[in-house]
Structure 1
Amino acid sequence: MTSNLSIGQRVAWYRRRRGMSQDVLAGLVGRTTDWLSKVENDRITLDRLSVIKSLASVLDVSLGDLLAEPHLFEWTDGSGEQTIPALRAAITDYRQLSPMAGLVENTEPSSQADLRRAVAEVWRAYQGARYSYVIRTLPGLLGEAHHAARAANGDARMAALGVLGQVYHAAASILTKVGEADLAWIAAERGLSFARQSGDQLVTASLLRSVTHALLSNGRYEAAKQLTMDAANLLSPDLPHATAELLSVYGTLYLAGSMAAARDDDRSTTRAFLAEAQEAAVRLGSDANHVWTAFGPTNVRIHQVATAIELGDIQVAVELGPKLDTSGLPIERRARHGLAVAHALSLWNRTDDAMAALLEAETIAPEQVRHHYLSRQLTMSWIRRQKGKPSFQLTALARRLHIV
């Protein structure tokens, strides 16, 4: 198989591998055989993750299998020739978990100040959609953070564990972005463990958000909703006198939860979670980036658009999305919203406008667009819609995405 198959073609491929007829698969997901036939022949586009997840569950494959994730991470001047496998090796390095770890180390650990500066630079690169830098830097940073935590004692060790949790958070975030859902889950779970040991409430809450995103990327929407409520309950006693940092983390927890609820086709919970996030944003007062959350009123509106798409309310997304001014947010947020707008416009059969939105997102965040499954799926769908030869602009986009 290649990543150049449409989602419908992958459904057909896995269905045949399972020895399942169209009648049987259609019945198991509560659809007609005619509907499934049109999906597999690309006459109907699968545009909602809730439907794709139901097909994946019946076919006994992961959500990423149907979305063709992960996608090959390219070598660039920024990444070098050590990319995701190097990060995987760092996360799964048994020596970091062994009781014997550190006994043969003879170098001085990095200072807490140096590590915090390095973590901040990784988050700046992540929010700037400089994925190559993040992936190149994280393996070494993980090793340094582990070394510092092992070498520290008392309060210094608690602080070092908090930094280590933040490094794993960054790893989980970038792995989610490039489609490495299982590895992202490992990083998020491990980071949460270190965060809890640190006793730092903000770091722990941030890692709970990371775990929620990891559950989302694995298609575990019900679990992600439950974790959102559990994490919010953990923070709620401190809300009456919450700092801007706590409000931001609390609000972003509900934003992640709103996406899980929408993908689970749960309208009432989606509305409730968005309302909680909106209340936190109102209290915060303006867009900010506390604890690298990019949280504020604009991010809430971004999620109102994104959840509308997931729930099939395309007209709402088309009316709200293109008008939203995201220029004050980090590049990663702006580009992701651009992809959502492109998706909504494409579903509304405004292909030219959709392509313009995707190209604008590519201009500000080429690596992010290149490695997102939605970019490839949209471009392939536009090529298939062409009655004649695709335009030069569309062909060039397809080449940059390595579709042709």
Structure 2
Amino acid sequence: MPASVKGGVGARIAYYRSVVRPKMTQQQLADAACVALGTIRKIERGERGVSDATLEAIANAIGIDPARLRADRGPAHTAVHAALPALSASIAAYDMPQDGPTRSLNELSAAVEQAAGWRLSAQYTRLVRQLPDLLTELSRAYHQAPGHQRQELAGLMVRAYRSADAVAYKFGALDLSARLIELMRWATPETGDPLLAASVAYVRTETFFAAHAHATGLRALEQALDTAPAPTKPSEIAARGALHMRAAVIAGRDRNPSAAATHLDGARSLADHVTEGVYYGTAFGPDSVRVHEVSVAVSLGDEHVGRALDVAGAWKPPSSLPAERRSGFYIELARAQLWSGLGDDAFESLKVARRIAPQHTREHPWVREDTATLRRLKRSDAETLTAFAEWCAAT
């Protein structure tokens, strides 16, 4: 939300109602949120307060995280970090969950899909509030289910663990992230789904990034490529292509330009045979490969950085790509611009990343590092840059 939009929660609701989701009237919002029209009007005028339940309903109707609407909202990392112990406790008892109610398989599937959508749109505060109870319920359902349902429930558990891992990894809880990945690997064989196994291999690369074990991570991905199904159907093509994209990036981090180019070529070739979309929780297609071209160029550094600028000069990620991936593109581009002496352009890219996915941008370590560097180097627009640095806690 632009800094120029002042006021409390009512002003924020009015802003997102009219701008983030154009032409949404007060009546449409009231209908979607199951809140009286008069209540919406009074809240927007600042004539009455709003309960947490009503705020959640309004945010869901607009399609944003409730944290964006709070007039007294604190940094997203505060809410997420406060919820991480509950997330940790929910997986500690994965094999002996507490007794309680369990929804139907269809309802659980819908809840897991909703969580995946929040992950892809980088709505981490919303995600972390729901996940502990969902993970507990899935474990309970899995251990209580008859044999013929356990396979599907195991798949739902893997997908839910992946959403939880996104929060843990992005917010620096690396031990928790590693535990979640191991649980994904534990549950995957039960699903009997080789494409889900490929998805888990993709996510597992985070542990190698975190440990700076890039060569080992590259070997793990190449082993996953060896065992992945032959790419005939779109889902199989996308699974293999996603592994190539990931391998290209980690090869770049390993400063292995030959392997990076080989895997990027593999991803590009496969992307020509599918439409851009989300397959098994990972976006893949021609646009995603272009995003990874920038990432690989930045990972390789030095003379390769110019390639990132070339890609960005001729193309921008479309709004149809998941917010997390689009914001990542601009974060990577900002680093390439900064290294190329384009400080103003780098700051503009960081601001674009913030507009697309504020929580993802604020928690990205490169954003803090590059903002701190810009503060040391930049002389113009110092006030705006300082405000940005305070927002992302750059030192």
TM-score range, shorter chain: 0.7 to 0.9
Partner of 1:305: 294
Instruction: Name the SS for the 1:129 alignment partner.
Output: coil
- Shift of the alpha carbon at 1:390? 6.4
Q: Does 1:216 align with 2:205?
A: no
Q: Pick from 250, 256, 264: which aligns with 2:246?
A: 256
Contact 1:305–1:316 under 8 Å retained in 2: yes
Q: Secondary structure at the match of 2:376?
A: helix
- Tell me, yes or no, if the aligned pair for 1:215 and 1:223 is still in contact at 8 Å: yes
Take 2:233 and 2:114, find their aligned partners in 1: how far apart are those partners? Answer: 24
The answer on whether the counterparts of 1:213 and 1:256 sit within 8 Å (CA) in structure 2 is no
Which residue of structure 1 aligns with residue 47 of structure 2? none
Give RMSD over aligned pairs. 1.9
**Residue 383 (str. 1) matches residue 375 (str. 2):** yes
Distance 1:403 1:294 in 2: 30
Q: Could you list the runs of 4 or more consecutive aligned residues of structure 1 that deviate by over 4 angstroms after TM superposition?
A: none
Structure 1 CA distance, aligned partners of 2:294 and 2:266? 16
Distance in structure 1 (CA, Å) of the matches to 2:162 and 2:263:
23
- Tell me the equivalent position of 2:49: none
Residue 188 of structure 2 is aligned to residue 195 of structure 1:
yes
Deviation at 1:215, TM superposition (A): 2.1
CA distance in 2, matches of 1:218, 1:168: 21
The aligned counterpart of 1:84 is: 84
The structure showing larger relative contact order (alpha-carbon pairs under 8 Å, at least 6 residues apart) is: 1
1:351: which partner in 2?
A: 343
Residue aligning to 2:312 = 321
Q: Which residue of 2 aligns with 1:3?
A: none
Percent identity between matched residues is 26
Shift of 1:253: 1.1
Deviates more, 1:167-176 or 1:370-379: 167-176
**2:137 and 2:190 mapped to 1: Cα distance?**
18
1:166 alignment counterpart: 159
Q: Which residue of 2 aligns with 1:337?
A: 329
1:367 to partner: Cα distance: 0.8
1:234-257 residue CA offsets vs partner (Å, 9 max, x unmatched): 114x32xx2212211211111111
For residues 258-300 of structure 1, give each alpha carbon's deviation from its aligned partner in whole angstroms, at most 9, with x where no partner exists. 111110111111111111111211121x311222211001111
Q: Distance in 2 between matches of 1:108 and 1:142?
A: 13
Contact 1:248 1:290 in 2 (8 A): yes
Cα deviation 1:45-79 (Å, max 9, x = unaligned)? xxxxxxxxxxxxxxxxxxxxxxxxxxx95335xx5
1:121 equivalent in structure 2: 114
CA distance in 2, matches of 1:147, 1:365: 33
Q: 1:110 to 1:223 in 2, by over 3 A?
A: farther
Q: Give yes or no for the alignment of 1:288 onto 2:277.
A: yes
Q: How does 1:138-153 map to 2 (within 5 A)?
A: 138-153=131-146
Instruction: Map residues 43-122 of structure 1 onto 2, 5 A cutoff.
Output: 74-76=77-79, 82-91=82-91, 93=92, 95-97=93-95, 101-102=96-97, 105=99, 107-122=100-115
CA shift at 1:216, angstroms? Answer: 2.1
User: Over residues 179-211 of structure 1, what are the superposed CA-to-partner deviations in whole Å (9 max), with x where a residue is unaligned?
Assistant: 223321221121121011221222222112111
Q: 1:267 aligns with which of 249, 257, 282?
A: 257
Aligned residues: 318
* In 1, Cα distance between equivalents of 2:156 and 2:309: 41
| Residue 85 of structure 1, CA deviation | 2.5
Distance 1:308 1:316 in 2: 6
Q: 1:346 to 1:134 in 2, by over 3 A?
A: same
SS of alignment partner, residue 294 of structure 1:
strand
TM-score, normalisation: structure 2: 0.76
Distance verdict in 2 for CA 1:342–1:332, change over 3 Å: same
Query: For the Cα contact (< 8 Å) 2:195–2:228, is it kept in 1?
Result: no
Equivalent-residue separation in structure 1 for 2:83 and 2:326 (angstroms) = 25
Is the contact made by 2:369 and 2:394 (CA closer than 8 Å) also made in structure 1?
A: no
Paired with 1:348 and 1:389, the residues of 2 have a C-alpha distance of 18
The residue type paired with residue 125 of structure 1 is W
Aligned match for 1:244, one of 212, 216, 234: 234
Choose which of 389, 393, 400 in structure 1 pairs with 2:384.
393
Structure 2 CA distance for aligned equivalents of residues 73 and 85 of structure 1: 16
> 2: CA distance between counterparts of 1:251 and 1:144?
33
* Structure 1 residue 96: Cα displacement: 2.4
Question: For residue 50 of structure 1, what is the aligned residue in structure 2?
Answer: none
Partner SS state of residue 283, structure 2: coil
Q: Secondary structure at the match of 2:122?
A: coil
Distance 1:282 1:243 in 2: 13
Give, in whole Å, the separation in 2 of the partners of 1:368 and 1:269. Answer: 29
Structure 1: runs of 5+ lacking an equivalent:
1-71
Q: Secondary structure at the match of 1:265?
A: coil
Structure 2 residue identity aligned to 1:167: A
2-structure distance, mates of 1:385, 1:274: 34
- The 3-state SS of whatever aligns with 2:272 is helix
